[in-house]
Amino acid sequence: MPADERAIIHVDMDAFYASVEQRDRPELRGLPVIVAGLGPRGVVSTCSYEARRFGVHSAMPTAQARRLCPDGIYVWPDHARYEAVSDQVFEVFHEVTPLVEGLSLDEAFLDVTASQRLLGSVESIGQWLKATIRERTGLNASVGMGPNKLLAKLAGEISKPDGFRRITATHAAAELAPLPVGRLWTVGKVTEQTLHRLGIRTIGELAACDTARLASALGRQVAGLQALARGQDDRCVEPAQAEQSIGAEHTFDVDVAELAMAEAWLLRHCERIAARARQRGLQGRTVTVKLREPPFETYTRQARLPAPSASAGELFGLARGLLVTWWKAQRRPRLRLLGVSLSGFAAERQQDLFDGAPDRRVTDQVQDRINSRFGTGSLVRAGVLKTREQD
């Protein structure tokens, strides 16, 4: 199908983690909220628009954010809660089209070309998405629409926050021309600096520049860059492939030197990834433990379960053996980071009704029900409790 006949929607939740915190804690609304690691090695995950006015942004060291915004509200990330909200958002996406390409927990492309026959124009679909997400989650989403991914994403970005905008193929050149060249997809810092040295600072200037002059500085990527500058983008929306692995990890503010504490964090990770696997109807067979010594030497240890599983107890039993073996082999064991992941997935198998062995999964099922009703983390195994002292 010609690119100008496609209908692509880009949805991006506004300041997602911070917005979830403000939704769940009304006293934070209107305040500069920074979701970040709070230790000396912490990094900002995201922040509210109130905090961005002080120059705070994602991926900034938390220490720098504190200097810029000393009166901000600093909050530890609650990834399990954000994932639960993300699942709600993606359920809305899939009610519109099966062609959903997730970019992160809070961002996706949707190809709604065929959906228009049943649901109306791309604007109607975009309005429904925005309103339904707001109704079900209480959060704002910025919605951009266009004939391709480039224009849809730019439309959403330039209308944030709480954005809603469509860029058509006819008006693409005029819409793109005044934007900084760094806003263009594939233009990173190095390419941006090269273009600036050539006197090119806007997308319009890039589109109009002599190709031969650009080629001497940028080489083969010139044709593709200038096509993008004219609003041309042939990339298709690629629905997510089957999940390859589910993992969790934690970087410690103070290096862990006690095996018991490392085991407690390992159990916490196993509970989290096992719960996520069960939510997705998956069972995995391969357990991988990631261990990082200070300053940055990383090891991985891997083993296979006898049969696919999503039981936290079974995952922990295997992972703990890998951790202990590594720990005992070190002269002076210290951990800066510890993680665990589950892979080698198979569809969840039906339990054998005639299997008389004790079912360790009953504990997981009870935990799932309680945490679903009262909130993630309401019920955990006793071994996890000591990790909360570091939260």
107 is catalytic: yes
- Rounded CA gap, 288 and 309, in Å? 14
Neighbours of 91 (CB within 10 A): 12
| Active-site residue, selected from the candidate residues 21, 50, 101, 107 | 107
Residue 87 annotated as part of some ligand binding site = no
- Rounded CA gap, 31 and 364, in Å? 38
Asked whether the beta carbons of 287 and 340 are under 8 A apart, the reply is: yes
Q: What separation in angstroms does the CA of 167 have from each of 157, 174, 368?
A: 12, 10, 44
Q: What separation in angstroms does the CA of 49 have from each of 30, 37, 55, 192, 231?
A: 9, 19, 10, 26, 29
Asked whether the beta carbons of 44 and 56 are under 8 A apart, the reply is: yes
Strand pairing partners for 341?
Answer: 247, 288
Name the one residue in this structure whose structure tokens are 């720098």.
64
Asked whether the beta carbons of 314 and 361 are under 8 A apart, the reply is: no
Residue 364 annotated as part of some ligand binding site = no
Q: List the binding residues for Mg(2+).
A: 12, 106
Q: List the binding residues.
A: 12, 106
- Give catalytic residues, as residue numbers: 107
